[in-house]
Structure 1
Amino acid sequence: MASLRGVTTETLRHYDRIDLFKPQFVDPDSGYRYYSIFQYEVLGTIKELRQLGMSTDEIKDYFNERNFNKSLDILKAKHTELVSKLSELHELEEDIRGKIGYLEHVSKEKELQSVFFREIGRRKLITLNEKINSNLELSYGVIRLENMLTEKTPILASNRLGIIIKEVDLRAKRFEEPSIIFAVAKNKEKIPKQCQMTIPAGLFACIRYNGELLWNRSESLSKIMEYLDEPGYRITGDALQIMHVDITITDKPNEITFEIQVPVQI
């Protein structure tokens, strides 16, 4: 019977022990279990229901006073559950594929500590509107932001997490001031209005640097501000500091990378 249905003999012994699928006859002397070929339908149904993710208790209920309407209702409920799981898996696959593509792109990006310009589209940010003063506050902030999202994968290692550097602090060269943490939202997210912020599309002066700490940005900010002090450049808003490669990807400090983006007009 095990061979005919493609299951193990231990599976049949287990089903016997839990009273799910019992042999037609057990030899009292040898203990051998004997099955009738006419039991093939029940074992086949059990195998199918297990493949659908049903527990043995659910399958017992399925066989208890089985009738057409009951079986149909159970299968419809299980189908709804499977569709939901497939949707979750599809979303998870999209997120992982996006992260892989992003990290492959990062590996080919421009060298560190060089100012370059990039056109970036409109972004909707989720922010707690609270300033972050330490790595401890940053850790709690990331968790709180993730809990506001509906997606299944963490937002780390995705260039969607960062801090806002206020324009007034940029101009005053107060580069170590506490900053507001944010995450870039997806369009489908339903976020309270008080936690939303929109960054218009436009041109950004950018610079990348590496190191373990989010706060070690003074050198990079000084360099980009000196560059923008030249005639012809005008800062048009708050800067963003994006985590590009973080501690979820590497333990090596020289591989952890941040990018600062300053909105400008030329």
Structure 2
Amino acid sequence: MQEFFTTLPPYLQALFAGIITWLLTALGASFVYLFKNIDTKVINTMQGFAAGVMIAASFWSLLQPSIEQSSDSMMPWLPAAIGFILGGIFIRLLDFVIPHAHQNSPDKNQRVEGPDTALGKNTLLFLAITLHNIPEGMAIGVAFGGVATGNDGATLLGALGLAIGIGIQNIPEGAALSMPIRASGLSKWKSFNYGQASALVEPVFAMLGALLVVVATPVLPYALAFAAGAMIFVVVEELIPESQSGNNTDLATLGLMGGFTIMMILDVALG
């Protein structure tokens, strides 16, 4: 796989990596054909696992390289700090302008955010998952862009490791979206399509992220931290609260630790 990727320009490397993460989301969404429903314990554990992967990726694959990229400057922490805050603000702004709903709130009802809308609950839930797939795609893109620009701390295997880690957590994520939609009464085919389509933004934003870094190399440390800030915002605002909303807090926490450990191993071993 590494030999294949080395022959491609960085934006195509990022695109193909994003397609892989989308396919793994589709794999998770296909669980609607295998299971009638998924126990809440499993869903909460999967949500915790996804949060752990994203937290680890935010530091090991994004923030640390961002700081290393600026190590020769007087304030090596500044680009990382600015990019990190802007990433969180970016997702917050999307929350304002795009209607979406979070499941598993403490009162067991969907929590609707954004402007008033007549969209159905399933569409709002789909939009919520799509929103948090955007920073995942961006993270993949800037990682591959960093390799192309000669960042000393960036390697092709490291970028692939990030994509693999995000792809792994996309499997339960696809199931966590398609299964509740199936339970609401939609057909297996429609539920599957909701699940897989939520990750279509990942290859798009992966390619855009790589192009941005390659065209404007000086933005790399800011872009890395931006993707990290966006992912951390999603983790704290959505994944952790939802994973802890049931009576399975210990399982969700263990899932988070497992996801963090796997992503850390991937990044250190491949980076």
TM-score range, shorter chain: under 0.3
Pick the structure with more helix per residue.
2
Pick the structure with more strand per residue.
1
* TM-score, scaled to structure 1: 0.23
